[in-house]
């Protein structure tokens, strides 16, 4: 099974981060599953991390369109599933229309699990402007959000961690976990994918007495599960209705080429 994991970062800007993603996703996947990590075009931004771009709705829409196009590309390339590996799940709804393979979101997999388990969420984020779209997604999923704690000077803290200086990161996330616990959270969730990889690397599964959920790992296992359900004929993708009816392939290819281009 091949799974396309679409990151919201540029490869090579933070070598340790690239290494952590590869180690983590390779470890959580079942034998026989290959998680193929894909990144943004190198010219997307010039900084180490994309936090300067992700806080704007107009740019978020462009990211969403790009992500949805990669889902269609993943299906054409023979992948069994596609994952949006960013906390705000850019392009997730569009990807579920563009592709017929299972489509999973870093955030959505966690919000759905929390709703099913009836656990209150405590989000810890380092990019303030992402709190709004992520909170909207949690509410839309029907999950319960008790706290959304933001790290002071979060980008600097995360950047230091990506050089191997983890102590300020651990202190900041522990303090945020304490605040989330006080507000009634039961699950702690790193709001963005980058700190999740750091937490997994450090083996931090608990902060201030609360479990730390691994959304990246959960997304991979959810994707594998959905693929197997379809393979067994237990579930299937709908083929009726406005959003799921598929036009003839030649018509779709023409529209993609003229209106948006193909990857």
- For the cut 90, the answer to whether the pLDDT of residue 138 exceeds it is yes
**pLDDT tens-place string over residues 73-111:** 999 999 999 999 999 999 999 999 999 999 999 999 999
In degrees and rounded to multiples of 5, residue 235 shows phi and psi of -125, 170
**pLDDT tens-place string over residues 116-126:** 999 999 999 99
DSSP state of 122: E
Confidence of residue 262 (pLDDT cuts 50, 70, 90): low
Contact 192, 157 (CB under 8 A): no
Give the whole-angstrom CA distance, residue 102 versus residue 234: 14
Q: Domains, the chain, ranges and CATH?
A: 2-225 (3.40.50.12500)
- What is the reported pLDDT for 226? 98
Q: What percent of the chain has pLDDT over 90?
A: 82
Give the whole-angstrom CA distance, residue 97 versus residue 72: 9
Confidence of residue 68 (pLDDT cuts 50, 70, 90): very high
Give the helix ranges, DSSP H, for the chain: 15-28, 57-76, 92-98, 106-117, 131-141, 154-161, 167-182, 193-202, 215-231, 249-255
Residue for token pair 């209150």: 120
- For the cut 90, the answer to whether the pLDDT of residue 59 exceeds it is no
Q: CB pairs under 8 A, 24+ apart, for 245-253?
A: 246/100
- For the cut 90, the answer to whether the pLDDT of residue 210 exceeds it is yes
- For the cut 80, the answer to whether the pLDDT of residue 47 exceeds it is no
């Amino acid at each position: 099974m091949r799974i396309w994991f679409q990151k919201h970062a540029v490869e090579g800007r933070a070598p340790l981060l690239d290494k952590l993603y590869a180690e983590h996703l390779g470890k959580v996947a079942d034998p026989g599953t290959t998680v193929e990590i894909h990144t943004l075009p190198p010219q997307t931004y010039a900084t180490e991390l994309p936090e300067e771009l992700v806080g704007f709705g107009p740019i978020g829409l462009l990211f969403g369109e790009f992500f949805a196009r990669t889902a269609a590309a993943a299906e054409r390339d023979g992948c069994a599933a596609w994952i949006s590996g960013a906390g705000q799940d850019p392009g997730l709804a569009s990807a579920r229309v563009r592709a017929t393979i299972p489509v999973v979101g870093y955030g959505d997999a966690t919000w759905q699990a929390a709703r099913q388990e009836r656990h209150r969420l405590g989000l810890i984020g380092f990019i303030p402007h992402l709190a709004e779209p992520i909170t909207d997604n949690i509410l839309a999923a029907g999950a319960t959000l008790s706290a959304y704690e933001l790290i002071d000077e979060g980008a600097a803290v995360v950047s230091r961690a990506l050089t191997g200086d983890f102590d300020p990161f651990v202190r900041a996330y522990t303090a945020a976990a304490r605040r989330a616990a006080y507000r009634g959270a039961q699950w702690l969730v790193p709001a963005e994918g980058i700190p999740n990889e750091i937490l997994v690397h450090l083996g931090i599964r608990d902060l201030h007495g609360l479990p730390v959920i691994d959304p990246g790992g959960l997304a991979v296992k959810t994707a594998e599960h959905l693929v197997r359900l379809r393979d067994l004929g237990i579930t299937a993708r709908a083929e009726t209705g406005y959003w799921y009816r598929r036009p003839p392939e030649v018509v779709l290819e023409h529209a993609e080429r003229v209106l948006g281009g193909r990857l």
